[in-house]
Structure 1
Amino acid sequence: MEIPQELITALEVPALELTSLQGVNGVGLGLREENEEFFDELAVRVYVDDATAAPELPTQIAGLPVCVVEFPIEPLFTPDTSRHDPLVGGAQIEQAPMASGTLGAVVLRNEDSTLAGLTCHHVSGDTGARVFQPTAPPMPIGSTPDLTDSLGRVIAFDSPVTQTIPTPAGGTLWLGRQVDASIIALDEAAQQGRTFSNEIADGFGAVSQTLAPAVKMFVRKRGSQTGPTGGQIIGMAPAVWWKSGSPPDGHLYAMANQYEIFFNPAECPDGIFARGGDSGSVVLQSGSHDAVGLLWAGVSQGGRRALMCDITMVEQRLNVTLAWAFS
């Protein structure tokens, strides 16, 4: 489904204003939905924590019908214990004990042709934070942590935290970005004798290329918590809350131009596409090795919906390449 850029642009400010309402998580564009049944008709999708307690909303925005979607959007991170050596995409990582996510892939840094680990900023923490695989050891104040499972430190990140000029909307100042992503040095892992692969676990293989996602595209991912699951992109969101970190007083964090995924029952045996701990998973187009997104949000206890950012924007913002091979 082609969504005109002028419609996305026209919806950006109204989306931020609606997202300022209590209980509203974000506003998107995509397939019209009624009771989890989808129609081949463009609609404005308003995401709410609780559909039974949603605020009063317009029936149309920008000439399109409005559908209310219950989707309590949360960054997905939680603990796991699997260890991968060689290191591959889909592995569990931790920046601190009990704050886990997924290593999306081992990527190539364009500036110096070194390898790095790709995940979400809300998983890895800020530049200089040390990341472990599979779990972070206890780190009492004043002690030296055990570096056996350390990958290295965060090199760079891009997320709403990096925006410095806010966008006014509905009496709120928004700080936003199109990606929630970071890269991690792998030097400490190499020092421990660990090796690295450009593949993603569970037979997903290596990424062959990156493509911009599109509404109605079928996708799959391998997360550290739910393993391989599949779904379909059913909408894109000009603005959704990014409920991570602590924005300055009077400000809120937002993500722009995100893509919403709804599960495919045939590829999700337990009815769950993603849960806490899957943030950072690389999302591929079904039936291919083409990467289209980086998963960062969903329902923490497990749900049928998730959000991802455009993987081509991740590559651009962090100056990395997912499809690489050393000769």
Structure 2
Amino acid sequence: MEIPQELITALEVPALELTALQGVNGVGLGLREENQEFFDELAVRVYVDDATDVPELPSQIADLPVYVVEFPIEPLFTPDTSRHDPLMGGAQIEQAPMAAGTLGAVVLRNDDNTLAGLTCHHVSGDTGFRVFQPTAPPMPIGSTPDLTDSLGQVSAFDSPVTQTIPTPAGGRLWLGRQVDSAIVALDEAAQQGRTFSNEITDGFGPVAQTLAPALKMFVRKRGSQTGPTGGLIVGMAPAVWWRSGSPPVGHLYVMANQYEIFFNPVDCPDGIFSRGGDSGSVVQQAGTHNAVGLLWGGVPHGGRRAVMSDITIVEQRLNVTLAWAFS
């Protein structure tokens, strides 16, 4: 389903104004939904914490009907203990104890042809932070950490934290980006004798190419917590509240032009598409090895819905390539 750019543009300011309301997490465009059944009709989707406590909303925006979707969106991170060698996509990583996520893929840096680990900024932390796989060792103040499982330090990131010019809407100042992403150097892992693969574990194989996601596309991902699961892209959101970091006083962080995934029961036996610890997972188009997204948000305790960024934008912002091979 094609969504006209003028419609996306028309929704940008109203989306921010509604997202500023108490209990609203974001506003997007997508399929009309009633009782978790989807219809081939375009609608404005308003994501809320609690469907029984919804602020007053307009019945239409940009001549489209408004529907409420209960989806308390938060960044997904939590610890795990699996170790991968060779290192490949889908592995659990930690920046510090009790702050873990998923290594989406080993990627190629375009500026120097070196390898790096791709994940989310809210998982890795800022430039210079050290990331471990599978878990971070105890790091008492003043001590030297054990680097046996260290991958290296964060070399670059892009997220709402890096935005400096705010957009005023709904009485707030919004700092927004289209991605929550980071790359981690792998030099310390190489020094420990670890090897690297362009594959994603659980038989997902190497990424063949990257494509922009689209509404009604079936997708799959391999997360460090839920393993392989699949779903359907049911919405794209011009504004989704990003609950991470500490924005300046009077400001809020927002993710622009994100994509909402709803679980496919056939691919999710326990009814869960993602949970805490899956942030950073590369999302592929089902039935292919084409990467389309980078998962960053959902329901921490496990849920049927998740949110991802466009992987082609991630590549552009970080200047990396997912589909690589050394001869």
- In structure 2, how many angstroms separate the alpha carbons of the residues matched to 1:86 and 1:31? 41
Paired residue for 2:23? 23
The offset of 1:231, in angstroms, is 0.2
Structure-1 residue corresponding to 2:149: 149
1:306 is aligned to 306
User: 1:221 corresponds to which residue?
Assistant: 221
Stretches (4+) displaced over 2 A: none
Matches within 5 A, 1:58-97: 58-97=58-97
The corresponding residue for 2:51 is 51
| 2:109 aligned residue | 109
Deviations 1:174-219 (A, max 9, x none): 0000000000000000000000000000000000000000000000
Q: Which runs of 5+ in 1 are unaligned?
A: none
CA distance in 2, matches of 1:59, 1:107: 44
TM-score by length of 2: 1.00
1:121 counterpart residue number = 121
Q: Distance in 1 between the 2:69 and 2:246 partners?
A: 26
**Cα distance in 2 between the residues matched to 1:81 and 1:27:** 36
CA deviation digits over 1:117-142, x for unaligned, max 9? 00000000000000000000010000
CA distance in 2, matches of 1:259, 1:77: 19
2:2 is the counterpart of 1:2: yes
CA distance in 1, matches of 2:213, 2:41: 19
Q: Distance in 2 between matches of 1:145 and 1:54?
A: 47
Q: Aligned partners of 2:6 and 2:189: how far apart in 1?
A: 46
Q: Structure 2 regions of 5+ residues with no counterpart? A: none
What code does the residue aligned with 2:293 have?
G
| 1:245 counterpart = 2:245 | yes
1:164 corresponds to which residue?
164
Q: Distance in 2 between matches of 1:200 and 1:221?
A: 9
Deviation for aligned residue 1:237? 0.2
Which whole-Å deviations, capped at 9, do the CAs of 1:21-79 have from their partners, x for residues lacking one? 00000001000001101000000000000000011111111000011000000000000
Secondary structure of 2:28's match? Answer: strand
Q: How much has 1:90 moved relative to structure 2?
A: 0.2
**Corresponding residue of 1:319:** 319
Aligned-partner Cα distance in 1 for 2:55–2:268: 32
Counterpart check, 1:280 vs 2:248: no
- Once the two structures are TM-superposed, the CA of residue 171 in structure 1 deviates from its matched residue by 1.0
Name 1:140's counterpart in structure 2. Answer: 140
Equivalent pairs counted in the alignment come to: 327
SS at match of 1:314: helix
User: How many Å separate the matches in 2 of 1:144 and 1:306?
Assistant: 37
- CA distance, structure 1, for counterparts of residue 35 and residue 21 of structure 2: 23
* C-alpha distance in structure 1 between counterparts of 2:171 and 2:25, whole Å: 17
* Separation in structure 2 between the aligned mates of residue 299 and residue 170 of structure 1, nearest angstrom: 25
- Percent identical across equivalent pairs? 88
Corresponding letter in the other structure for 2:321: T
Query: How far apart are the structure 2 equivalents of 1:149 and 1:121?
Result: 20
| CA-based RMSD | 0.3
Partner amino acid for 2:239? A
